[in-house]
Chain A
Amino acid sequence: MSDEKNTAAKLEKIKAEILAKYPTKVARKRAKQILVNRSDTNGKMPEVGANVRTVPGIITQRGCSYAGCKGVVLGPTRDIVNITHGPVGCAYYSWLTRRNQTRPESDTDENFMNYCFTTDMQDEHIVFGGEKKLKQAIQEAFDLFHPKAISVFSTCPVGLIGDDVHAVAREMKEKLGINVFAFSCEGYKGVSQSAGHHIANNGIFTHVVGLNDTIGKGKFRINLLGEYNIGGDSFEIERILDACGISLVSTYSGNSSIDHFANSHTADLNAIMCHRSINYMAEMMETKFGIPWIKVNFIGAESTAKSLRKIAQYFEDEELKAKVEEVIAAEMPAVMASLEKAKPRCEGKRAMLFVGGSRAHHYQDLFGELGMETLAAGYEFGHRDDYEGRKVLPSIKIDADSRNIEELHITPDAKRYDPRKDEESLKKLENEGIDFREYGGMMPDMKENTLVIDDISQFETEKLIEIFKPDIFCAGIKEKYAIQKSGIPMKQLHSYDSGGPYAGFKGAINFYGEIERMVNAKVWSFITPPWAAEPELSANYAWVA
């Protein structure tokens, strides 16, 4: 106990040391976002400052609303022509840079993911308005590609000059007879890319979900939410679900198609991977169509097994449960063999994780499987519920920035609302251990006396490395080389560098191998040149005859 107290005191001292560098006002703000993960004597977790504005001038890793909406959520959907309305940059930077993969059903099927579409606004459009150009762009996209759907994404100047992208979309939808819809995801909305995720999900829910009522094949039909197919993760999850006999109606939005979205309300369960980016979609689908949702995690072999069992349990089908056990039993030997190889070379090593939304939470499971400890973790764009769990939702104060993001008011669909489980069976399943509408958050799962840091800054990253010298640091591309220049291996968990998939069973095997390579790579031992490792010789031989 006193050891723990010492650790906590040490961490508090480190926190104070970090904050000391900041101007008073900044320090006061950052103090709420840097926490020692430690419950008080009443077992109450500390409250984290999250989803608050970034301090100007403090180097952040956060992106913007457009990046969340176009770059993350809609980007991986292959058969929509996504037009960025604005000057060229935003479209350019969100063009093929996230390693989202997609697998159309045939070589002739639509796939626009390799293309970048923009209205490339020039100064005259900023002065006189860009609506005419946007209409023309939509028309040209239609004439050239004949897509099923075209979507439009607003960038900062579009919001300022007041182009009504939604009116343009309505007009062109009417004219062309295909689905055309727009997103007001200007970069200045909200405090991070998280706002863009929300705008994207609202848009898809409004304009696409429920357009096709056909009930597809399969006895156990689910949607996977918040899985973006980075480095092929979805492919592996699809393989496993398929082996279990679980039908995937739609993935939001890795390896996805707009037809799947349109039909997704016919699924019987929503399984959420990344809570932050999509929890509203699950809630809206439950309210409107009666589909329950659960949180799953396919990062880590144990977590994958657990999530599969949870899904099988939900369907209350003995055959499915048996099949899931069979798949787990068939997959685990290879996983264990690979773990046995990697673990002795990784065990006891220490990691830090500062990644987007749920990833900073989920990857701790994989490191845990390798016997590695996560010293510090945090989200780039998480909210309080991502850290502390959904139970804190009622106590989250809505600020001006959150209020600017539209909340849809959803009511049950008059014809199609169909609760997949009645309250009684939900209760029964809850008693059996399935938590519906629940996400426990990262902090309860993290070890006590570790550091939790929201929206970590460059300066704080440097300090952590200097103080702890972790064996591996996980973050994004902007941090990568600064960390490596400090002599610490750095793994990107937004895009996986050259690796992946890391989800599911095969993903776990890939990850064990990757981390084993990284923490043991010879290159780190060469940084100090031989001549600097030893003191210089001060004496010379003298030949005496």
Chain B
Amino acid sequence: MLLRHTSAEPVERTGLMINPAKTCQPIGAMYAALGLHGCLPHSHGSQGCCAYHRSALTRHYREPVMAATSSFTEGASVFGGQANLLQAIDNIFTVYEPDIIAVHTTCLSETIGDDLNQIAIKARDEGKIPEGKFVIHASTPSYVGSHVTGFANMVQGMVKAFSESTGKKNETLNIIPGYVEPSDMEEVKRMAGLMGLKTIVFPDTSNVLNAPQTGKFRMYPKGGVTIAEMKATGDSKATIALGPLASDLAARKLDAQCKVPCHTQELPIGLQATDRFVDTLRKVGGVSVPESIAVERGKLLDVMTDMQAWFYQKRVALFGDPDSLVSLVEFLVALDMHPVHVVTGTPGKAFEQKIRDLTAHLPVPVNVKAHGDLFLLHQWIKKEPVDLLMGNTYGKYMARDEDLPFVRFGFPIFDRVGHSYFPTVGYMGGIRLMEKILDALLDRKDRDSPEESFELVI
């Protein structure tokens, strides 16, 4: 037993988190910054943070993740990190020649109170930022929120730094895709394209964190939203923010800064959330839904009707980020599954209420916790077993101990590939999610079936 010390009886804990279901803000900020073309993320703190974030992102995406650090030692921690950051900005522009440096704080630089805005102005005044180049920033203390909060803060930082209004609106739609995979960002773009809409998707990590092998390393791969596009977001007709926690902050900032009306909704995971996304695109974009989108929807629906038997009343335990879990739970409920244990590590009570609302009509009790951990989730599973576990790679220890079918979903996934290339958003993403769930359930059925009922056809 890998987690042999986990007892079934939950006890109230106020001091100790065991097996977190979240990580810290800066990694989310680093991920968002990588979705800006020509950008080098910079971690303002001691160098371990940068090393850890780069390692975790690299393991998840299996792609180069470049980022610099202010390399604080004790002196900087006492006297402030301004000198380190000024020196870093100078060195980065000289050696690595990015168009943008996206600085985020760490718990160290936040606690000593370094003012990134003031340091960036000073860098500009001292001529350390070459003409036409930018230093943008976000405040991302690790003791507030989670990696999702950090993502939201950096996307807001992008808006603050670049979005401009010329006073003349155009027909373009901004889409903030949320804390999702590069493949998902690509899919959102593709769907809007099928609708005949011109969009600016930001951040956009497609072709950055799922870049092709060409035999030539590019520090700044071809993907990412460009500075020109980011600037133009202020003239767009509207913004669609997907995933309230990750995207709403930037969308509202853009509204306040450039008067771009925003529509925030859940991540388009599963049938209904995708329907709402398509419907918003239709209404906001002023277009009709083309046949090609209807065909994709019909295909998703077709698999749902065909495979209904295997989903019906299956009990599922889930953990992950709030935005994705809300949509995923809605999808599972639509498949007549029972999501009975739901945990996110990100603090915030709204999450618990949303999950309760989505599962209110189920004939089974549902456990839900925000700012929870996997230890608690495991205890719930031990007390009230499930048929399926869904979550990031760390779930595999629970899955093995409890002999559970397991679907990897979320961040991080260190031990499988596919997430960077195949979306789970949109109608086609819904089919992939169902395929993964079915594979897990049917593989288990095949494994457990007695010989006489081991059948070729289902």
Interface residues of A (CB under 8 A from B): 21-23, 26, 53-67, 83, 86-97, 107-108, 110-112, 114-123, 125-126, 133-141, 143-145, 155-157, 159-161, 186-193, 400-401, 404, 457-459, 462, 465, 476-478, 480-487, 527-528
Stretch at the interface among B6-14, B189-197, B325-333: B6-14
Within the assembled complex, what's the spacing in Å between the Cα atoms of A478 and B74?
25
Cβ distance B26 to chain A, nearest Cβ, rounded Å: 7
Quick one: which of B51-67 are within 8 Å of A by CB? 51-56, 58-59, 62-67
How many chain-B residues does the 8 Å CB contact rule pick out?
A: 86
Whether, in the assembled complex, B87 has its beta carbon less than 8 Å from a beta carbon of chain A, the answer is yes
**Bound Cα distance from A476 to B71, whole angstroms:** 19
Q: How far, in angstroms, from A49 to B14 measured CA to CA in the complex?
A: 47
Cβ contact within 8 Å between A121 and B143? yes
* Per-residue contact bits, chain B 13-27, to A (CB 8 Å; 1 contact, 0 not): 111111110111111
Interface centre among A66, A114, A140, A188 (most CB of B within 10 A): A188
13 CB < 8 A contacts A-B:
A64-B48, A88-B22, A91-B20, A92-B22, A93-B55, A119-B17, A144-B18, A157-B111, A187-B45, A187-B47, A188-B108, A485-B215, A487-B215
CA distance A143 to B345 in the complex (A): 23
Q: Is the CB of A119 within 8 A of B146?
A: no
**Could you say which residues of chain B place their CB within 8 Å of the CB of A138?**
15
Cα–Cα distance between A95 and B88 once the two chains are bound (Å): 30
Most buried by B among A88, A118, A457: A88
Sample of 18 further A-B pairs with CB below 8 A, known A107-B1, A140-B11:
A56-B68, A56-B88, A57-B90, A59-B96, A67-B51, A88-B345, A89-B25, A133-B15, A144-B5, A144-B18, A156-B106, A156-B111, A191-B73, A401-B73, A478-B65, A481-B63, A485-B216, A487-B216
Contact assessment for A459 and B46 in the assembled complex, using a CB-CB cutoff below 8 Å: no
Would you give the 0/1 interface string for B108-148, flagging 1 where the beta carbon is closer than 8 Å to chain A? Answer: 10111000000000000000000000000000011110100
Contacting pair A21 B94 (CB below 8 A)? yes
Query: CB distance B96 to A189 under 8 Å?
Result: no
**Closest residue on chain A to residue B27 by CB atoms:** A89
Inter-chain contacts of B215 with A (CB < 8 A): 485-487, 527-528
B394 within 8 A of A: yes
Asked if B434 is at the interface of the complex by the 8 Å CB criterion, the answer is: no
Residue of B nearest to A404 (CB): B74
Write out the residue numbers on chain A whose beta carbons fall within 8 Å of the beta carbon of B345: 88
What distance in Å separates the Cβ of A364 from its nearest Cβ neighbour in chain B? 25
B165 at the interface (CB under 8 A from A): no
| Given known A67-B48, A527-B213, contact A160–B16 (CB-CB < 8 A) | no
**B16, A141: Cβ atoms closer than 8 Å:** yes
Whether B236 sits at the interface, judged by CB under 8 Å, is no
For the complex, give the distance between the alpha carbons of A138 and B56 in Å: 28
Chain A minimum-CB-distance residue to B393 = A96
Which 8 A-B residue pairs are closest in the complex by CB-CB distance? Answer: A64-B48, A136-B15, A89-B24, A57-B88, A57-B91, A137-B15, A93-B52, A87-B142
Asked if B408 CB lies within 8 Å of chain A CBs, one says: no
- Judge whether B70 is part of the interface by a CB distance below 8 angstroms: yes
Complex contacts, A133 vs chain B, CB 8 Å: 14-15
Q: What A residues does B143 contact at CB under 8 A?
A: 87, 121-123, 125-126, 157
> By CB atoms of chain A within 10 A, which of B17, B63, B112, B394 has the most?
B17
Please measure, in the bound complex, the distance between the C-alpha atom of A191 and the C-alpha atom of B72, giving whole angstroms: 9
Contact of A55 among B55, B89, B91, B216 (CB under 8 A): B91
> Counting chain B CB atoms within 10 Å of each CB, which of A64, A65, A486 scores highest?
A64
Q: How far is the CA of A528 from the CA of B92 in the complex (A)?
A: 32
User: How far is it, in angstroms, between the C-alpha of A60 and the C-alpha of B54 when the chains are bound?
Assistant: 11
Q: Given A56-B70, A487-B215, A118–B17 Cβ distance below 8 Å?
A: yes
Asked if A60 and B394 sit within 8 Å, CB to CB, the answer is no
* B107 & A87 in contact (Cβ 8 Å cutoff): yes
- Tell me, yes or no, whether B77 is within 8 Å of chain A by CB: yes
List the A side residues contacting B106 at CB < 8 Å: 156
Q: Of the candidates B16, B52, B75, B95, which one forms a contact with A459 in the assembled complex, judged by CB atoms under 8 Å apart? A: B95
Q: Which of B18, B54, B75 contacts A117 (CB 8 A)?
A: B18
* Complex: A120 Cα to B20 Cα, angstroms: 9
Docked Cα-Cα span, A61 to B47, in Å, equals: 9
> How far is it, in angstroms, between the C-alpha of A190 and the C-alpha of B72 when the chains are bound?
9
The answer to whether B14 and A478 touch across the interface, beta carbons within 8 angstroms, is: no
Q: A88 near B19 (CB under 8 angstroms)?
A: no
Cβ contacts under 8 Å, B19 to chain A: 95, 115-116
- Does the CB pair B62–A481 fall under 8 Å? yes
Give the residue name and chain of the A residue nearest to B141 (CB): A123
In the assembled complex, B49 has its CB within 8 A of some CB on chain A:
yes
- With both beta carbons as reference points, the residue of chain A lying nearest to B14 in the complex is identified as A136
Determine whether the beta carbon of A114 is less than 8 Å from that of B397: yes
* B218: Cβ under 8 A from any A Cβ: yes
Task: Determine whether the beta carbon of B5 is less than 8 Å from that of A110.
Answer: yes
> Per a CB cutoff under 8 Å, which of B72, B87, B142, B216 touches A486?
B216
Judged by a CB distance under 8 angstroms, whether B69 is at the interface is yes
**Complexed CA–CA distance, A194 and B127 (Å):** 36
B295 within 8 A of A: no
- Smallest beta-carbon distance A146→chain B, Å: 9
Contact pick for A115, options B18, B23, B111, CB 8 Å: B18
> Which of B22-53 touch A at CB < 8 Å?
22-27, 42, 45-49, 51-53
B349 CB to closest chain A CB (Å) equals: 14
Contact indicator A144/B95 (Cβ below 8 Å): no
- Are B18 and A67 in contact, CB atoms less than 8 angstroms apart? no
Residues of A within 8 A of B68 (CB): 56-59
> With an 8 A cutoff between CB atoms, is B214 at the interface?
yes
* B85 interfacial by beta-carbon distance below 8 Å: yes
Contact of B217 among A55, A92, A144, A462 (CB under 8 A): A462
B residues within 8 A CB of A140? 11, 13-16
Neighbour of A156 across the interface among B13, B46, B62, B216, CB < 8 A: B46
State A458–B50 Cα separation when bound (angstroms).
Answer: 14
- Chain A residues whose CB sits within 8 angstroms of the CB of B294 once the complex forms: none
B307 interface residue (CB < 8 Å to A): no
**A83→B13 CA distance, assembly (Å):** 14
Q: B445 to nearest A CB, angstroms?
A: 28
Residues of chain B lying within 8 A (CB to CB) of residue A482: 64, 66, 217
Q: Which residues of A contact B27 (CB under 8 A)?
A: 89
Q: Does B4 contact A (CB under 8 A)?
A: yes
- Given the known interface contacts A23-B91, A56-B85, A482-B64, the answer about A136 and B16 at a Cβ–Cβ threshold of 8 Å is yes
Write out the residue numbers on chain A whose beta carbons fall within 8 Å of the beta carbon of B59.
97, 477
Contact in complex: A478, B55 (CB < 8 Å): yes
Return the contact of A137 from the options B16, B62, B218, B347 (Cβ within 8 A): B16
Do B142 and A527 touch (CB < 8 A)? Answer: no
Closest to A108 in B: B4
Q: Residue on A with the closest CB to B3?
A: A114
Cβ contacts under 8 Å, A462 to chain B: 217
In B375-428, the 8 Å CB interface with A consists of: 375, 394, 397, 414
Pick the residue among A88, A118, A121, A134 that contacts B146 (CB under 8 A): A88
| Residues in B neighbouring A135, C-beta threshold 8 A | 15
Q: Known interface pairs A56-B69, A86-B107, A89-B24. Does A478 touch B51 (Cβ–Cβ under 8 Å)?
A: yes
A180–B58 alpha-carbon span in the complex (Å): 35
Decide yes or no whether B289 CB sits under 8 A from chain A: no
Question: Is A120 a contact of B66 with CB atoms below 8 Å?
Answer: no
Closest to A159 in B: B77
The reply on B84 being an interface residue by CB < 8 A is yes
Point out the residues of chain B lying under 8 angstroms from A94, CB to CB: 52
Asked whether A60 lies within 8 Å of B47 as measured between CB atoms, the reply is yes
Q: Is B256 an interface residue (CB 8 A)?
A: no
Alpha-carbon distance between A55 and B83 when the two chains are bound, in angstroms: 11
- Shortest distance between the CB of B54 and any CB in chain A (Å): 5
Cα A83 to Cα B18 with chains together (Å): 9
**Are B73 and A190 in contact, CB atoms less than 8 angstroms apart?**
yes
Give the distance to chain A from B101, nearest Cβ to Cβ, in Å: 9
Contacts of A64 in B (CB 8 A): 46-49, 51
Taking a contact as CB atoms under 8 Å apart, the answer to whether A93 and B64 are in contact is no
Docked CA distance A458–B96 (Å): 9
User: Do B52 and A67 have beta carbons less than 8 Å apart?
Assistant: yes
